[in-house]
Structure 1
Amino acid sequence: MPITRELLIGGKSAPAAGGRTTADTSPSGELYATVAAASAEDVTAAVDAAHVQLDSWSATSPFERRRIFLAAADLLERRIDEVVATMAAETGSLAGNAMFNVGLAANILREAGAAVTAPRGEVLVTGSPGTMSLSVREPLGVVAAFAPWNEPVILGTRAVAGPLAAGNTVVLKASEEAPICSGLFIADLLSEAGLPAGVLNVITNDPADAAVIAQTLIGDERVRAVNFTGSTKVGRIIGTLAAQHLKPAVLELGGKNAVIVLEDADIDYAVNAAAYSVLANAGQICMSGDRILVHESCADEFTEKFAAKVAQLPPGLPDDPGAAVGPLVNIAAATRVAGLVSDAVTRGATVVAGGGAPDGPLHPPTVLRDVPREADLHYAEAFGPICVIDTFASDDEAVAKAGDTDNGLTAGIITENSAHGLAVARRIKTGIVHINDQTVDDEPQAPFGGFGASGYGRFGGRWAIEAFSNTRWVTMATQHTRYPF
């Protein structure tokens, strides 16, 4: 039987104004839950609640704040079965990916707990005798956070952990595709761990109202910063809204990521690494490898082994014990991916593995080569279980092809020569690069973010604290100053 959830405002469940609701469906279209469909009025109420609690939360003992984060991490790990079931229902995630969400999100919470008591400021040199000069960091205020659906527990947790650790209060707009996993579940967890009512408020909405919700939330003068994870298309809108209101924003957007297989790579290892990069969570990760660039000296061997590997990884729904690759988030997403493949083939590309029509939200894992520049797939983020193999003859050509995108989020370089890998890595314009590893990797203490149209600002560790706090200059004179008049 479908479940029902309301908004979370001021620590209480509340229906949307007018009692409006919206459907939360599975990838196949079955109703999983009914959630409140917020209006602009509800957004303002959520900001009201966050603003009321700002001074109290920022003044809460750092040891109490750290205790809450650490308790939430432990609670999350104990509720792993609930996460597996809810992610399967909302996004079609296979169990392994859901368990990965639990592990990383728990560590994000622990990292946030550690950040609460980390040094936050500096003593500065000053030319004024008898004066102490300080740089201090303080909370910004109410933070507007936007969570995506694709890794909902990880990214919903990341959306709020850094701002809360810095002493801000938060209004979280959950994803329309996973409103429970990306928002309400996380708020439930933190509340159970002891987070005071009103410090974190969650808005759910109908997709048709997304623009109004974002405009109202970002436009509220009490909201002092914005963080968003999602597509570059929507990120441009969010970034523009934030800029119009002179509010800082952290944007983590799409990636057109490349795995580069150098001539000195272990080919069997490269095949396994690339397969994971392309097909983890059915390719629905901002770090997924859309492009496999292989040195021409080993391209034939790699392509043959890679195609064979991909062909033996069957797609399936979460209740299929034989499934290696899960569904896309909905049938429309699978249809979009099939359209990218069809367009590429029509323009001259060759399918070397997979292909064919989707089965509902399931799209066959697919490998293409000879994809021309005019094909949509050449530049579009695939965000599905498909990739393109291309070749290069030199490091210069590999760097040029890897950089032929505006979305420089991450890259992987497969090599048995770390010095060679580092030399190539330093020439690639991405926010993240992994040498002798593939593109999909994330640790909570590391700076996470992209280059170009993959966004700006950084999540993770001290970078999140810096992003969601304000730097002030404070001086203290220990003697009277002499003035000229």
Structure 2
Amino acid sequence: MALHRNLLIGGKELPAASGRTTADIGPWTGEPYATVAAAGPADVRAAVDAADAAFAEWAVLAPFARRKIFLDAAALMEQRAEQAVELMAAEVGGTRGWALFNLGVAANMLREAAAAITAPRGDVLATHEPGGLSLAVREPLGVVAAFAPWNAPVILGTRAVAAALAAGNTVVAKVSEDAPLACGLFVADVLRDAGLPDGVLNVITNDKADAAAIAETLIADPRVRAVNFTGSTGVGQVIGTLAAQHLKPAVLELGGKNSVIVLEDADLDHAVNAAAFASFMNSGQICMCADRLLVHASLVDEFTRWFTAKVAGLSSGDPSLPTTVIGPLVSEAAAQRVAALVTDAVGKGARVLTGGGTPEGALHPATVLADLPEDAELYHAEAFGPVVTIRAFADDDEAVALANDTEHGLSCGILTENGTHGLKLARRIRTGIVHVNDQSVADEPQAPFGGFAASGYGRFGGRWGIESFSNTRWVTVSTEQPHYPF
């Protein structure tokens, strides 16, 4: 029998006011793994009520007390690794390795948030007033609306709330319909069990049909002071527009059309392994995954042979098996969308080097394409699945032009044994993240994370995350009575 979870509002697990529930379908089995409460606008308002009521006490709680909660939560999260492995396999088809990676990064996000709580929160400014003290002080905003996606559920569920909470805000998290447990309630359970006070973090689950109404109600509430969203560019445009209409700052981490560039002096074995990881980790369902492998003409033939052979040998199937690399996509519809991109590309002249064909349910084979024409939908669209293309380039100028030929700007990898050459090239790539002699998929909680253009704006991570969810105030103290002209 499928398990059931309710909403988390004010520290209590409550059914939706309407009594409705919705199914959480597992992509590998195609059967309901769980049911969750299907919130409506009234539940959203109740969650904001709870967050607003909890704000004053949370904002003034001693920093060392708040820090302890985050450190204890990080330890608890690591202790619950096997629970997360089960949740991710069941809800989104995540492999064991991907789930454990999620746990490690998320736990370190909590530790980084803990460190930020007791870090300096402002500056002493110069002032021309005799005996004056001028301060720039960062303070929490209030209630933050957080939207968390399914694809890296523990990482992104944690990222959606950690910095906002560490800055002293309270949060209402609207979590993905495809992973309500892993990206929402699992994270909230860990924080609650670590001592997070009631109402500081509230979790809303909903039916997909109600997603727009939930988002609109949450963002429009005047007590919500800021918004963060991680997900597709299309939905991000809607969220960003809603936030702008209500004059609320937003952090948007959206899609990518990322490249891994293999320069002429790259170590070929390292390049093949790095490119395979970038292309097929979590079956390509990571915003930083490589859609395009740009390989110097002097290496492209040998690289293509080695890479195609490696990809053809990747194990696929049941995500619960420890040997599985390519698990199912999040749904059969997602697999069909990827297959349609491949079919369109092949129909317009692309060659399939390995993979392709018809998906088996939600399982799409790891696929490598060559000769992708510019009129193919895949040339510009984010694959977000186990598909990558290979293209040769003649020189640095062509590599830069190809990497930048996208509306997105999230991540890039440059594989080279010449760090000076790689860094010089990195300065010309228009992405928020560039890794020299590494691939495009990397995540460290102390670093600024985000993109620009169609990949969004604002930054998570480290002090940048705290700045995103706090307000800067100017405060002065006069130790002498000022002189006034009248």
TM-score range, shorter chain: over 0.9
Contact 2:272–2:306 at 8 Å: present in 1 too?
Answer: yes
1:57-456 to 2 correspondence within 5 Å?
57-456=58-457
TM-score between the two structures when normalised by the length of structure 2: 0.99
Q: Secondary structure at the match of 1:17?
A: coil
Aligned counterparts of 2:473 and 2:69: Cα–Cα separation in 1: 27
1:11 corresponds in structure 2 to 11
Contact 2:258 2:410 in 1 (8 A): yes
Asked if structure 2 preserves the Cα contact closer than 8 Å seen for 1:139 and 1:167, the reply is yes
Deviation at 1:171?
0.1
| Deviation of 1:319 (Å) | 3.3
SS of the equivalent of 2:112 reads helix
CA contact (8 A) 1:410 1:432 kept: yes
Residue 34, structure 1, aligned to residue 28, structure 2: no
Q: Deviations over 1:315-354 (max 9, x none)?
A: 2122345422111001100000000000000000000111
Q: Distance in 2 between matches of 1:188 and 1:299?
A: 49
| 8 A contact 1:134–1:474 mirrored in 2 | yes
Partners of 2:100 and 2:325 in 1: CA distance: 15
Cα separation, 2, equivalents of 1:164 and 1:300: 50
Aligned-partner Cα distance in 1 for 2:18–2:262 = 56
Q: Is the 8 A contact 1:314 1:364 kept in 2?
A: no
The answer to whether the Cα contact below 8 Å between 2:252 and 2:456 also exists between their aligned partners in 1 is yes
1:81 & 1:321 partners in 2: Cα distance? 13
- Could you state the TM-score of these two structures normalised by the residue count of structure 1? 0.99
Name structure 1 gaps, 5 residues minimum: none
Return the offset for 1:461.
0.5
Is 1:23 the equivalent of 2:13?
Answer: no
- Identity in percent: 68
Q: Could you report, residue by residue, the CA deviation over 1:199-227 in whole angstroms, capped at 9, with x for unpaired residues?
A: 00000000010000000000000000000
Deviations, residues 219-276 of structure 1 (Å, cap 9, x unaligned): 0000000000000000000000000000000000000000000011111110000000
C-alpha separation in 1, matches of 2:320 and 2:303: 32
| One-letter amino acid of the structure 2 residue matched with residue 244 of structure 1 | Q
Which shifted more, 239-248 or 20-29? 20-29
The residue matched to 1:145 in structure 2 has which SS? strand
Distance, in Å, in 2 between the alignment partners of 1:233 and 1:390 is 27
Contact 1:316 1:322 in 2 (8 A): no
Alignment partners' CA distance in 2, 1:157 and 1:469:
18
> What amino acid is aligned across from residue 442 of structure 2 in structure 1?
D
Partner AA of 2:9 in structure 1: I
Q: What is the distance in 2 between the residues matched to 1:2 and 1:116?
A: 39
Alignment length, in residue pairs?
A: 485
Separation in 1 of the partners of 2:450 and 2:135?
A: 29
1:454 & 1:228 partners in 2: Cα distance? 12
1:6-45, Cα deviation, whole Å (9 max, x unpaired): 0000000111011011000101421111100000000000
Q: Does structure 1 conserve the Cα–Cα contact (< 8 Å) formed by 2:345 and 2:376?
A: yes
Q: Please, which moves more after superposition, 27-36 or 189-198?
A: 27-36
| CA distance in structure 2 between the partners assigned to 1:103 and 1:421 by the alignment | 29
Give the conservation status (yes or no) of the 8 Å contact 1:159–1:228.
Answer: yes
User: 1-side partners of 2:123 and 2:400: how far apart?
Assistant: 39
Amino acid at match of 1:323: T
Cα distance in 2 for residues equivalent to 1:135 and 1:426: 32
Matched-pair contact (CA < 8 Å) for 2:339–2:359: yes
Contact kept, 8 Å, 1:354 with 1:366, in 2: the verdict is: yes
Task: For residues 69-108 of structure 1, give each alpha carbon's deviation from its aligned partner in whole angstroms, at most 9, with x where no partner exists.
Answer: 0000000111111000111100010101000011000000
CA contact (8 A) 2:450 2:459 kept: yes
Partner secondary structure for residue 18 of structure 2: helix
- Other structure's SS at 1:290 match: strand
- Alignment partners' CA distance in 1, 2:376 and 2:205: 36
CA shift digits 1:272-323 (9 cap, x unpaired): 0000000000000000000000001110000011000000002212234542
Post-superposition CA distance 1:413-444 (Å, at most 9, x none): 00011111001000000000000000000100
Shift of 1:481: 1.4
> 1:239 & 1:319 partners in 2: Cα distance?
37
Structure 2 Cα separation of the partners of residues 380 and 36 of structure 1: 34
How far, CA to CA, are the matches of 1:324 and 1:24 in structure 2?
Answer: 23
Distance 1:243 1:324 in 2: 41
- Paired with 2:122 and 2:323, the residues of 1 have a C-alpha distance of 53
Q: Which amino acid aligns with 1:484?
A: P
> Partners of 2:416 and 2:64 in 1: how far apart?
45
Counterpart contact for 1:421–1:436, Cα < 8 Å: yes
1:120, CA displacement in angstroms? 0.6
Contact 2:93/2:330 (<8 A) preserved: yes
> Which whole-Å CA distance do the structure 2 matches of 1:200 and 1:333 have between them?
31
Give per-residue Cα distances to partners, 1:138-173, cap 9 Å, x unaligned. Answer: 001100000000000000001000000000000000
Kindly report structure 1 stretches of 4+ aligned residues shifted beyond 3 Å. 319-322
SS at match of 1:18: coil
Asked if the contact 2:339–2:358 (Cα under 8 Å) also holds between the matched residues in 1, the reply is: yes
Aligned letter for 1:479? Answer: E
Conserved 8 A contact 2:95-2:321: no
**Unpaired runs of 5+ in structure 2?**
none
1:385-414: CA deviations, max 9, x gaps?
110101110100000000000111000000
